[in-house]
């Protein structure tokens, strides 16, 4: 009993000494340097920490944190609060119960070589064609308060524009990594983008990878005027993607998005839609239901998006179609109800050749009602055989008590302002109303 008491006293003394030592400036400085040194196992960059405080057994507070990549400072923040369990850190890898970043700033630069943070995490383990660190990372509770970012896009895309500045970013999220699959859960994300302007009021949902599949679970984007939700899975996403994805929106404001998506600029439309994509790239089936100020569209089209020949075939129905907002010309007001059958192909090369010159196929339109440019017609049936800019036309229609047919071709001009060449034969059969 005396031996046990002596050993117990020694153990308690050691623990007490460890607790005392852990609170000394010397030990905190040693721990700060240790964290910086260990970060090199995971990061292709230089981490620096100005100060370290807090109760080291259950949490820590870091001050003046910065991360440099290739000699450039890409991340700074004044305060980082971390809560954890020492036992879990030793036994399970990097497990942090809670992490809070206050007023962080991130510099993102993009050029022809890619993003400056693209290779921030070291590649050590591999699953399928993915690589990553060899130890697990668990960050179930991440909070960012009043974050900022500067984006320098020196190689911008032709299809979208990124805001040059992001302010008031607030995030509540969780991240899990186990070599080498990951999941990111967004409970709430909001920010204000500037130049071009776009304010996002909330992003929520989950994204994760496992067994070479990219899973998207109820990923929702909300702005002041728009809502978009994406859900599904992309199988074999690194090699030959096979989609099972649904995108839907009760309202999508194109004027609001025109700053970041130049392709929709000038369209005063706020459509609602449901789009389903199923299958691999060479047999991708799209099912669409859409309504807007320009009318309603419903259809099913199968796409082949793999080289050397791209193709589209399927059927599309239009109801109460108004061409004015689509053509950005209020004088082109129309009311069209029609069914179209499409079977077209386009060679992907040579890429410098206009797309229309590489287009071949047939488009058939059956319209029971057409009102456009001040004219009305019924039972309109038109078939267009497309051979590049040469389009063969074979059609007939009824209007004002009579019917007419036309057959011939038109040649679409290669440049704006050039005349439209045509050659046609027509016949007209007038039937008087009784």
- Residue 14 pLDDT: 46
Q: Answer yes or no: is 327 within a domain.
A: yes
Q: Answer yes or no: is 316 within a domain.
A: yes
Q: Answer yes or no: is 58 within a domain.
A: no
- Residue 67 pLDDT: 87
Cis, bond preceding 308 (omega within 30 deg of 0): yes
- Residue 150 pLDDT: 95
- Residue 420 pLDDT: 57
- Assess contact for 228 and 254: CB atoms under 8 A: no
Q: Answer yes or no: is 235 within a domain.
A: no
Strand 137-153 relative to strand 59-69, pairing = unpaired
Strand 213-223 relative to strand 227-235, pairing = antiparallel
Q: Determine what percent of the chain falls in helix, strand and coil, rounding each to the nearest 5.
A: 15, 60, 25
CB within 8 Å of 42: residues ≥ 6 apart: 94, 121, 122, 133
- Residue 12 pLDDT: 42
| Residue 103: alpha-carbon gap to chain centroid | 26
- Residue 423 pLDDT: 67
Cis, bond preceding 196 (omega within 30 deg of 0): yes
Report the candidate in 280, 303, 305, 301 with the shortest Cα–Cα distance to residue 290.
Answer: 301
User: How many domains does the structure of the chain reveal?
Assistant: 1
- Residue 11 pLDDT: 45
CB within 8 Å of 294: residues ≥ 6 apart: 269, 271, 321, 322, 323, 324, 325, 326
Q: Which domain holds residue 330?
A: 271-434
- Residue 202 pLDDT: 97
Query: What does the alpha-carbon distance between residue 391 and residue 385 come to, in Å, rounded to a whole number?
Result: 6
- Residue 104 pLDDT: 92
- Residue 421 pLDDT: 62
Task: Tell me the average confidence (pLDDT) per consecutive run of 10 residues in the chain, 434 residues long.
Answer: 46 48 71 78 83 76 85 87 74 77 90 83 58 70 94 90 95 85 92 95 94 93 96 90 96 95 92 97 95 96 90 96 90 93 91 86 94 89 93 90 87 69 55 39
Q: Answer yes or no: is 169 within a domain.
A: no
Q: For the whole model, what pTM was predicted?
A: 0.79
Q: Answer yes or no: is 302 within a domain.
A: yes
Q: Which residues of 386-407 are buried (b: 16+ CB within 10 A; e: fewer)?
A: beeeebebbbbbeeeeebeeee
- Residue 419 pLDDT: 64
Distance of CA 14 to CAs 17, 20, 27, Å?
Answer: 5, 10, 16
Q: Answer yes or no: is 181 within a domain.
A: no
Q: Answer yes or no: is 149 within a domain.
A: no
């Amino acid at each position: 009993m005396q031996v046990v008491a002596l050993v117990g006293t020694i153990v308690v003394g050691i623990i007490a000494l460890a607790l005392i030592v852990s609170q000394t400036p010397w030990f905190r400085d040693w721990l700060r340097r240790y964290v910086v040194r260990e970060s090199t196992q995971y990061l292709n960059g230089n981490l620096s920490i100005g100060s370290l405080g807090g109760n080291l057994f259950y949490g820590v507070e870091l001050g003046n944190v910065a991360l440099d990549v290739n000699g450039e400072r890409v991340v700074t923040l004044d305060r980082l609060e971390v809560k954890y369990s020492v036992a879990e850190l030793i036994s399970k890898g990097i497990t942090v119960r809670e992490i809070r970043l206050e007023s962080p700033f991130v510099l993102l630069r993009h050029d022809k070589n890619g993003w400056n943070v693209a290779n921030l995490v070291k590649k050590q383990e591999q699953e399928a064609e993915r690589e990553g660190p060899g130890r697990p990372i668990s960050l179930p509770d991440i909070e960012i308060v009043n974050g900022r970012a500067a984006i320098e896009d020196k190689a911008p895309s032709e299809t979208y524009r990124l805001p040059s500045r992001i302010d008031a970013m607030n995030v509540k999220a969780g991240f899990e990594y186990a070599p080498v699959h990951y999941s990111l859960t967004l409970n709430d994300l909001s920010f204000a983008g500037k130049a071009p302007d776009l304010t996002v009021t909330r992003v929520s949902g989950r994204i994760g990878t496992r067994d070479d599949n990219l899973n998207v679970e109820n990923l929702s984007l909300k702005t002041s005027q728009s809502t978009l939700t994406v859900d599904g899975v992309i199988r074999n996403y690194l090699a030959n993607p096979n989609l099972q994805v649904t995108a839907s929106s009760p309202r999508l404001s194109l004027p609001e998005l025109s700053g970041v998506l130049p392709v929709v600029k000038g369209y005063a439309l706020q459509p609602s839609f449901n789009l389903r994509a199923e299958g691999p790239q060479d047999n991708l089936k799209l099912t669409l239901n859409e309504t807007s100020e320009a009318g309603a569209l419903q259809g099913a089209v199968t796409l082949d998006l793999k080289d050397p020949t791209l193709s589209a075939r399927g059927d599309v129905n239009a109801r109460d179609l108004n061409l004015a907002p689509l053509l950005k010309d209020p004088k082109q007001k129309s009311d069209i109800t029609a069914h179209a059958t499409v079977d077209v192909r386009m060679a992907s090369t040579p890429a410098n050749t206009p797309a229309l010159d590489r287009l071949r196929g047939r488009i058939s339109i059956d319209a029971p009602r057409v009102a456009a440019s001040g004219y009305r017609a019924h039972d309109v049936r038109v078939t267009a055989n497309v051979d590049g800019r040469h389009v063969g036309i074979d059609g007939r229609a009824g209007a004002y008590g009579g019917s007419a047919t036309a057959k011939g071709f038109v040649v679409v001009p290669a440049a704006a302002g050039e005349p439209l060449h045509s050659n046609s034969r027509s016949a007209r059969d007038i039937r008087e109303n009784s």
